[in-house]
Structure 1
Amino acid sequence: MTIFSHIPLFLLVFVRLACFFTTAPVFMDRQVPAVFKWGLAICFSILAGTLIQPVQAIEMDGLYLLLVLKEMLVGLCLGFFTAVLLYAVQLAGSLIDLQSGFAMSSLFNPQTGIQEPQTGRFFYMLALVFFLSIDGHHLLIKGILASYDWIAVQSMLPATVSENLVTLSLMIIKNMFWMAVLIASPIVGTLFLVDVALGILAKTVPQMNLFVIGIPVKMAVHFIVLFVFMPVFLIVMEKLVQTMVHSLEQILKILGT
């Protein structure tokens, strides 16, 4: 068997890995050079291609284009749905900043090219550090390499994938909002009580300028509760990573059955 006979298999493996590294957490950031992403995909394609033994030879015909589209779908789904759960911390920061008043001042994120809330950006960077500290990027690489055992490169997706994939995507988005509310609830609840206290103070002492006093008070309470909340945030992040790994396993089961 010549080296040219391995090219169709190598390209299919490369398409899945390249799409995964484009949408997966950590790897998708703009700070990660594109050359590194392509090089990493090529290296893993060479390693995975030597271990994959297709049932029959893969030919570059009309069916091959459908296999390429299937590999793109698998790679994008595995990367996107794991990244969606990590966006929960940014959503939680947006809810906190909306309540504390920091929503008026946002930061430009060079990774996404959009304006993001300060607390959401802080939570996201802290989540990335926690994710890397527990070797979460290794879990993602193991997951995408294990996908070739569940979803063969020469097989097409079954007809029941669309319905099950939509159900799973809705569940993942539900978990994202649930995690965001769980992360933001201590600070948002405390700031709501501060608003109630300031409202009562405005009725009892109408001469006091609460617009001048209220904003510094809410900012101070925001940072105090944020400092106290840090241990709880790490516990929620552990639950978030577990949910991410479970979602990755569910996607592999749906696409592989």
Structure 2
Amino acid sequence: MPAAFKWGMAMCFSIFVGAVMQPEQGIEMDGLYLLLVLKEMLVGLSLGFFTAMLLYAVQLAGSLIDLQSGFAMAMMFNPQTGIQEPQTGRFFYVLALLFFLSIDGHQLLIRGILASYEWIPIQSMLPAAVSENLVTLSLMIMKNLFWIAILIASPFVGTLFLVDIALGILAKTVPQMNLFVIGIPIKMAVHFIVLFVFMPVFLIVMEKLVQTMVHSLEQMLQILGA
């Protein structure tokens, strides 16, 4: 998604939300007005950051899987982030986005934007304890990110670890065999077999991911609104 399109969509959402949500009293164009604008930017960036961070858990899981299966040698350029990403991680990320859209997750985010103005009125500033509580919430979300990534990657990593053990035993029993030539194709084939079997479980993990995301957004709004 080009940056210009994202900025334009953010501007459209701002116009729509501004037409719906009206402050109880007028806000004067003074120094406090600039602080309120910065406060609204902080709230919006926090909503987007905490939502995207949990979606990046599937990309982290794909990176762990590709490191074990050998697909890390073939990286794919992601124009959205401008960096090289593993193929399985990108595949999981696209599946997560499609799952998120299929359950109307975008409508959930729009309702979250509208709810943020109910929890945090436009004319009010953020409480003093926001920064400390946001750091605590960020650490909790990071813990959930790694936990979900390990949960997704564990079937692949465990199966490929058993394949490595089998190849190691085979290397000892048949030293004439070149395992470097046949080992990588075997691990890739096992990778695709496990991926095919794991797909129903992946949807269950995505449901848990969305629940964690909704809970994190509610906690963030409570912290910012205090």
TM-score (norm 2): 0.96
Greater RCO (CA < 8 Å, at least 6 residues apart): 2
1:96 to 61, 65, 68: 65
Q: Which residue among 144, 151, 168 is the counterpart of 2:137?
A: 168
1:176 deviation in Å? 0.5
1:45 to 7, 11, 18: 18
Distance in 2 between residues matched to 1:41 and 1:231, nearest whole Å: 38
> Against the structure 1 CA distance between its residues 134 and 113, is the aligned structure 2 distance closer, same or farther, given a 3 Å change threshold?
same
Q: CA deviation at 1:32?
A: 8.1
The alpha-carbon deviation at position 109 of structure 1 amounts to 1.1
Contact 1:30/1:112 (<8 A) preserved: no
Matched residue type, 2:30: D
Give identity over the alignment, percent.
80
Amino acid at match of 1:185: S
Once the two structures are superposed, the pairs formed by residues 78-227 of structure 1 within 5 Å of their partners are 78-227=47-196
What letter matches 1:203 in structure 2? K
Partner residue, 1:244: 213
Aligned partners of 1:102 and 1:117 also within 8 Å: yes
Matched residue of 1:107: which SS? strand
Query: Structure 1-normalised TM-score?
Result: 0.85
For residues 251 and 179 of structure 1, the distance between their equivalents in structure 2, rounded to whole angstroms, comes to: 20
Query: Which runs of structure 2 are paired with 1:55-94 in the superposition (5 Å)?
Result: 56-94=25-63
Does the C-alpha gap of structure 1 residues 241 and 195 become closer, same or farther in structure 2, counting only changes over 3 Å?
Answer: same
Q: CA deviation at 1:93?
A: 0.2
Q: Is the 8 A contact 2:58 2:93 kept in 1?
A: yes
- Given the alignment of the two structures, is residue 33 of structure 1 paired with residue 1 of structure 2, yes or no? no
- Aligned-residue CA RMSD (Å): 1.3
CA distance in 1, matches of 2:166, 2:222: 51
Q: How many Å apart are 1:36 and its aligned residue?
A: 3.4
Q: CA deviation at 1:148?
A: 0.6
1:11-30 matches, within 5 Å, as 29-30=1-2
Question: Whole-Å Cα distance in 2 between the matches of residues 32 and 91 of structure 1?
Answer: 27
Aligned mates of 1:95, 1:110 — CA distance in 2: 21
Q: Match for 2:27: what amino acid?
A: I
Contact between 1:96 and 1:188, CA under 8 Å: does it hold in 2? yes
- In structure 2, the gaps of 5 or more residues are none
Aligned partner letter, 2:19: I
Q: Is the 8 A contact 2:23 2:123 kept in 1?
A: no
Where does residue 204 of structure 2 map in the other structure?
235
What secondary structure does 2:72 align onto? helix
* 1:159-215 deviation per Cα after TM superposition (whole angstroms, max 9, x unaligned): 111111110010001100100000000001100110011001101110000001100
